[in-house]
């Protein structure tokens, strides 16, 4: 069963499946923005919809890991950035606590990277392909949803908070991965710079993430100021 098998081949960069994933995200994001007035009016129903879809995605994800891989802890734990972002999103949808978005927004930047350069991702007709596109699309949409429906706005303190959490996360998985042959944060199967030694790769990642978080803050705040004029 290719739609379920762990042995199904991963997608090719800019192949048909990759383009479908990008199209799904683009249409979803454009729809959310174009119908922002309706989003404001129906935020409770939309929150409930996102919540149900997110929970179903989690059930699909961990069912696959249990029944197909025997829940191999080197891959199955909720320790990828995307899985942490999903849990943060579920917490936001349940509590409506917009402070969660201060971290989720910046962690969600990695979801953009996954769409642009998918690493070890299954096709759209595979169970894990469906899980991927649902997970990462909702992760990207929720900060926009919070911005539109709950008047959430990013603050510079959020950059520092998110980066502090990221540092703790990175140190944790960096130590944990060798103990269980794990690939959390894709440190074992790097999407790029595979030949770099850790003493080059780790500082480069930490610097790039810090710069990326700050750039995202500047861009969003600039867009917000422009749109308010």
- DSSP SS3 for 84: helix
Q: Which two tokens stand for residue 24?
A: 């799904």
114 and 64 in contact (C-beta within 8 Å)? no
d(CA 159, CA 103): 8
| Predicted local distance difference test score (pLDDT) of residue 2 | 82
d(CA 154, CA 158): 7
The angle at the Cα of 194, spanning 193 to 196, to the nearest 5 degrees, equals 70
- Domain spans, the chain: 16-228
Residue 200, CA distances (Å) to 164, 191, 203, 204, 206 in order: 21, 15, 6, 6, 10
Write out the chain's pLDDT in tens, 229 residues.
689 999 999 999 999 999 999 999 999 999 999 999 999 999 999 999 999 999 999 999 999 999 999 999 999 999 999 999 999 999 999 999 999 999 999 999 999 999 999 999 999 999 999 999 999 999 999 999 999 999 999 989 999 999 999 999 999 999 999 999 999 999 999 988 989 999 999 999 999 999 999 999 999 888 766 555 5
Which among 91, 109, 84 has a CA at the least distance from the CA of 184?
84
| Range list of H helices, 108-229 | 109-116, 127-149, 156-180, 198-228
What is the Rg, in whole angstroms, of the alpha carbon atoms belonging to the chain? 18
Contacts of 172 by beta carbon, 8 Å cutoff, 6+ apart: 79
Q: Which two tokens stand for residue 225?
A: 């100021």
The whole-model pTM stands at 0.93
Residue 224 CA to its chain's centroid (Å): 23
Classify residue 207 by burial, with Cβ atoms within 10 Å: 0-12, 13-18, 19+.
Answer: exposed
């Amino acid at each position: 069963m290719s739609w379920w098998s762990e042995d199904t081949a991963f997608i090719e960069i800019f192949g048909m499946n990759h383009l479908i994933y990008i199209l799904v995200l683009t249409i979803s994001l454009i729809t959310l923005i174009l119908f922002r007035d309706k989003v404001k009016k129906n935020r409770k129903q939309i929150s409930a919809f996102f919540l149900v879809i997110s929970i179903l995605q989690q059930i699909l994800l961990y069912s696959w890991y249990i029944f197909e891989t025997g829940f191999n802890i080197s891959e199955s734990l909720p320790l990828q950035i995307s899985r942490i972002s999903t849990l943060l999103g579920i917490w936001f949808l349940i509590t409506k606590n917009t402070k969660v978005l201060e971290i989720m927004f910046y962690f969600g930047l990695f979801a953009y990277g996954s769409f642009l350069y998918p690493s070890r991702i299954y096709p759209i007709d595979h169970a894990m392909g469906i899980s991927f596109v649902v997970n990462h699309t909702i992760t990207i949409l929720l900060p926009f949803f919070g911005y539109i429906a709950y008047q959430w706005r990013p603050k510079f303190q959020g950059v520092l908070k998110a980066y502090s959490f990221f540092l703790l996360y990175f140190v944790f998985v960096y130590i944990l991965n060798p103990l269980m042959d794990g690939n959390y944060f894709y440190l074992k199967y790097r999407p790029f710079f595979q030949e770099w030694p850790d003493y080059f790769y780790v500082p480069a990642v930490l610097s790039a993430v810090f710069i990326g978080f700050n750039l995202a803050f500047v861009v969003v705040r600039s867009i917000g100021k422009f749109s308010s004029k």
